[in-house]
Amino acid sequence: MNTKTITRSLLFWIVVAIVLGICCSFFFPEWLARIFITFNGLFSNFLGFFVPVLIFALITPAIAGLGRGAGKWLGITAGIAYGSTVISGLIAWALSTALYPWLLGDQALVTDVEDVDAGGLSPFFEVEIPAPFEVMTALVLAFCLGLAMTAVKSETMYKVATDLEGAIMKVVTSFVIPLLPLFIFGIFLNLGMNENMGATMAAFGKVLLLSVIMTIVLLVIQYLIAGAVAGVNPLTALRNMLPAYFTALGTSSSAASIPVTLRSTLNNKVDENVAGFVVPLCATIHLSGSMMKIGLYAFAVIYMGGLDVSPGPSLGFILLLGIMMIAAPGVPGGAIMAATGLLASMLGFNDEMVALMIAAYIVVDSFGTAANVTGDGAIALVLNRFASGKIEGQKNDESKERDDATVA
């Protein structure tokens, strides 16, 4: 691959942004860093406004194109996503049971940690951009309208939905994706200049490292299974999803990563309309990476804190957490905030333990999110094996620009 092709790759610019953000954090003066933090605040608020519209615009025509089979494919996708999330939690449970006596030994629980976010830089100013509706509202509205359109069979409504999809994807390809590297640069710049990051890392270091490794192992397992089902090379498919992985690593948001996840999924030769249906849906319901991290953290706290938690509540915690996390889709750190109630009620965590969980989760939040969105591509491959060509839709700019996004 020649130099020009590499420099046009989104993955290249994302990696450059991450490296530069970390390096610049060592010598940037605070006033200069705050300029980028201000941009990040504005762009983040725009994404908060735009992502619900994006989800609505992508899922509505996809549901409408499914026709009478909409309920079946929706149920299958949701079942696979939930199953993947729960299996991830069970792996974390089994792994912690087997490894923690050796890995943690007699290590005591350290709950005197600082607020990680409090050590970051603040922007010069903020501009609130309220979303027209919440992410979950967008998801439910898209389902209702899409299903209604399959019954009404209105060509006018369907054309409006597909035209909206094309217009929104134009915003994605012309505005959102080009600015993502700058956004990711600012995030890693802020992380590098965060004064409170080290305290949490020291308190929970071994488990943090294990969680990062296991999110990667989880992806390998998912793509081995998806490759076997879809009849594709799992390593090639996983490589094509790297732009989505690194975007989520930088943004810590599944919803904000949807444009790149969709593009990467299309590079795996997934049907355009299958990808348009699966990717935004799974961005809100598939949370296997987050489950792996929270599970490993929770069972570490149980072990180090000497809590007596029987298998029943542990299993119930995993099953319910897979549902509860859907309540906070696409929000950085949203998964652990959704889990706080279960940690206290089912596992007996006190306030200090919950605070440690939140701090530890936020430190490497992006690795769980990256596993979530990259795993969405594996689910899309599985669905594509059975649903390809069965979902009608409109070709949009994303398919035209697919070749430009191909990654070495």
Q: Where are the domains of the chain?
A: 9-392
CA–chain centroid gap for 394, Å, is 26
Confidence at residue 331, expressed as pLDDT on a 0 to 100 scale: 54
Confidence at residue 259, expressed as pLDDT on a 0 to 100 scale: 86
Confidence at residue 405, expressed as pLDDT on a 0 to 100 scale: 41
Question: Residue 122: which of 40, 24, 29 has the closest Cα?
Answer: 40
Alpha carbon distance 253, 286 (integer Å): 13
Alpha carbon distance 78, 310 (integer Å): 29
pLDDT in tens, the chain (408 residues): 455 555 666 768 878 888 898 899 888 998 999 999 899 889 888 887 887 888 788 778 877 766 555 567 788 888 999 999 999 999 999 999 998 888 877 766 655 555 555 556 788 888 888 888 877 788 788 878 887 887 777 788 888 888 898 888 788 778 887 888 888 888 778 877 776 555 555 656 788 888 889 999 999 999 999 999 999 999 999 999 999 998 888 777 777 788 889 999 999 999 888 888 888 888 878 989 989 999 998 998 888 878 888 888 899 999 988 887 775 555 556 677 778 778 888 888 887 777 777 777 776 778 888 999 999 999 999 999 887 766 554 344 444 444 444 434
* Length, in residues, of the chain: 408
Kindly give, in sequence order, each residue whose CB lies less than 8 Å from that of residue 44, ignoring residues fewer than 6 positions away: 183
**pTM of the predicted model, to two decimals?**
0.74
- DSSP string across 304-372: HHT----HHHHHHHHHHHHHHGGGSTT-TTHHHHHHHHHHHHHH---HHHHHHHHHHHHHTHHHHHHHH
Contact 182, 17 (CB under 8 A): yes
Confidence at residue 67, expressed as pLDDT on a 0 to 100 scale: 56
- DSSP string across 78-102: HHHHHHHHHHHHHHHHHHHHHHHHH
Question: Residue 323: which of 59, 56, 79, 58 has the closest Cα?
Answer: 79
Confidence at residue 320, expressed as pLDDT on a 0 to 100 scale: 85
Fold of 9-392: Proton glutamate symport protein (1.10.3860)
